[in-house]
Each structure stands twice: as structure tokens, then as C-alpha cells.
């Protein structure tokens, strides 16, 4: 089967079976697509949906976010996880205003130059927002290509340059068709060609899948060991951020000390938040979200 027909089969399946997600609406803005791609990194769709809708309701254009503080972005991010993404989105919005008149650029090199926009996100925005021909490669896409083309049960834990090359070779030449195929590959890996329980019987390329023909089984265990959360610095960081998000001004260190009993771990987590640009000192033994407003006159910090 040719590369063209491979993409065609999956694209036709996608047009009939794709999930109805708001960032796939043809009228959605490039900014909204960029926000969705950042939020969807390591975060399930079901959690992203309400956060994305709330974010765009408050900041429908980059200039609206750029006009507010990083602390506002962190508060709005809530418990979506990996809150550095909120700061990066704020930095990105500022850069869009300063460099591109508040618009998301359509050139790949300019997208790659934006703060917090890496190889995957830049290509995803170029493809999904502007209909360009770029290989958009995430874990799901790598798994589809590894199985259907290379005959491997999985693609491994990280994206390699060869993954971009292999995926690009499968894309139709025409840009709009290639962009559609990129979305289709991703959707197939997310809902059919899953890591542990692939639904091969309903796969549009099951009859020509090299892995299916090999008779190999799906891996019994995860490609990467799931990260433990309970008792880790990530949990402590989350508890500290929760206090700072809910505060209306700087928070004294004794109040932060109440969130976790281990002094060494708590201090390490707080220092990490400062290093990552999420939290900043706000005077002697007080802290606040980065860029947050000072305490109102007369506020008691004890």
C-alpha cells in the first residue's frame, strides 16, 4: 500500500469517527489552538476541556493575557498540573504582542522562537491552525507509525529525529490533506491504536498493519514507569501553590510551613518553585506568586 493510500484510509476514518473537540472547530483561532496544545501536554482531554474553555473566555486573544500578570495565569491554571506551562503561555502571549502584533505567526521558525513552544507544539499549530504540511509527532503518532509501518509493538519513550522523517514520508503532498492526516494519525493512536488494548478490529489500516501481520502481542507493561505522586516534591509543590493561589497578597513563611511536616522537603519544594519562576520572595520570610500584586495596605500577613 502506498503512503498516500495509508494516509487516505486513516483520514477517511477520522472524518467519520473523530471526537467532537472544540479546538477542532474550523472557526477556532490559532491562539485557541496554541493554548489547547500546551494544555494537552501530559494532561487528559477530559481535564483540559473545562480549563481551556475558561482560559479562552477570560483571555480570547494573546493581548488580553499579556496585559495581566503571570500570577493571574498561574491562578487560572488551577490544578491542571505542570503549572510552569501557565507561565510559559503568559511569556508566549507577551512575545506575540511584542513581536507579532498580538497574532500567532504562521511561519514554523517564528513559532519555534516563541517562549515555551517546542518542536511538537510549533508543528501542531502550523498544521492545525494554518493547514500546513508538517509531521506532528506525539506518543500516539509514534505508536501508530511504529506498529503499522515498522512492525514494532511500541515506539519507545522519546521522540527521535527519525520519527519526524518516518511520519513526514506518510503525509500527502497537498498541505491541507497533510494537516488532516496529521490530526487523523494522532486520533487513531489515542482511541484505537492504544498502548495496552488496541482495538485492531476497527482500525482502518488493520489489513496492512505490519505489527498485526507479525503476530506480536502488545507490551504487557508500560513503556515508561508511571511517576509516583504521593509524598513526592511534586505533591508538596502543589500544596504550596494552592495556598499561594488562594491568597490575595504575600504569604508569610509560617503559613506555608503548615502544608507539609518535613522541613527539608518543604524547603526544597519551595526553593524549586522559586527557581522555576512560579514563586518569588516578597519581603522578609514572605512569598507570592511571580508578578503578583503587593499586599493591600493594612493587610495582616501573620
Q: Which residues are catalytic?
A: 37
Q: What angle do CA 156, 162, 168 make, to 5 degrees?
A: 115
Query: What are the strands, taking DSSP E only, across the chain?
Result: 251-252, 279-281, 286-289
Distances (CA, A) of 71 to 28, 62, 90, 217: 26, 16, 9, 48
Q: Give 73's contacts (C-beta < 8 A, 6+ positions apart).
A: 65, 86, 87, 89, 90
Separation CA 47–CA 17 (nearest Å):
21
What spatial distance separates the first Cα and last Cα of the chain, rounded to whole Å? Answer: 71
Work out the number of other CB atoms within 10 angstroms of the CB of residue 113: 13
Amino acid at each position: 500500500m502506498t503512503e498516500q493510500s495509508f494516509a487516505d484510509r486513516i483520514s477517511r476514518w477520522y472524518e467519520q469517527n473523530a471526537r467532537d473537540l472544540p479546538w477542532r472547530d474550523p472557526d477556532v483561532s490559532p491562539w485557541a489552538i496554541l493554548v489547547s496544545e500546551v494544555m494537552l501536554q501530559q494532561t487528559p482531554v477530559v481535564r483540559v476541556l473545562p480549563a481551556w474553555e475558561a482560559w479562552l473566555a477570560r483571555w480570547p486573544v494573546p493581548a488580553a493575557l499579556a496585559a495581566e500578570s503571570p500570577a493571574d495565569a498561574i491562578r487560572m491554571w488551577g490544578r491542571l498540573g505542570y503549572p510552569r506551562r501557565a507561565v510559559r503561555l503568559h511569556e508566549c502571549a507577551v512575545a506575540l504582542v511584542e513581536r507579532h502584533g498580538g497574532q500567532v505567526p504562521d511561519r514554523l521558525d517564528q513559532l519555534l522562537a516563541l517562549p515555551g513552544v517546542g518542536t511538537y507544539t510549533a508543528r501542531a499549530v502550523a498544521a492545525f491552525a494554518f493547514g500546513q504540511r508538517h509531521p506532528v509527532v506525539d506518543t500516539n503518532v509514534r505508536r501508530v507509525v511504529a506498529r503499522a509501518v515498522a512492525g514494532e509493538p511500541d515506539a519507545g519513550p522519546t521522540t527521535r529525529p527519525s520519527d519526524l522523517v518516518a511520519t513526514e514520508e506518510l503525509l500527502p503532498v497537498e498541505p491541507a490533506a497533510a494537516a488532516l492526516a496529521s490530526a487523523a494519525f494522532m486520533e487513531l493512536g489515542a482511541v484505537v491504536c492504544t498502548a495496552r488494548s488496541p482495538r485492531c478490529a476497527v482500525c482502518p489500516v488493520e489489513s496492512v498493519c505490519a505489527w498485526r501481520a507479525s503476530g506480536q502481542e502488545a507490551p504487557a507493561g508500560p513503556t515508561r514507569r508511571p511517576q509516583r505522586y504521593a509524598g513526592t516534591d511534586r505533591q508538596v509543590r502543589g500544596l504550596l501553590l494552592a495556598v499561594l493561589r488562594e491568597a490575595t497578597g504575600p504569604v508569610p513563611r509560617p503559613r506555608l510551613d503548615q502544608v507539609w511536616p518535613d522541613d527539608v522537603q518543604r524547603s526544597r519544594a519551595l526553593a524549586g518553585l522559586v527557581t522555576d519562576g512560579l514563586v518569588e520572595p516578597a519581603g522578609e520570610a514572605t512569598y507570592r506568586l511571580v508578578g503578583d500584586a503587593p499586599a493591600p495596605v493594612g493587610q495582616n500577613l501573620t
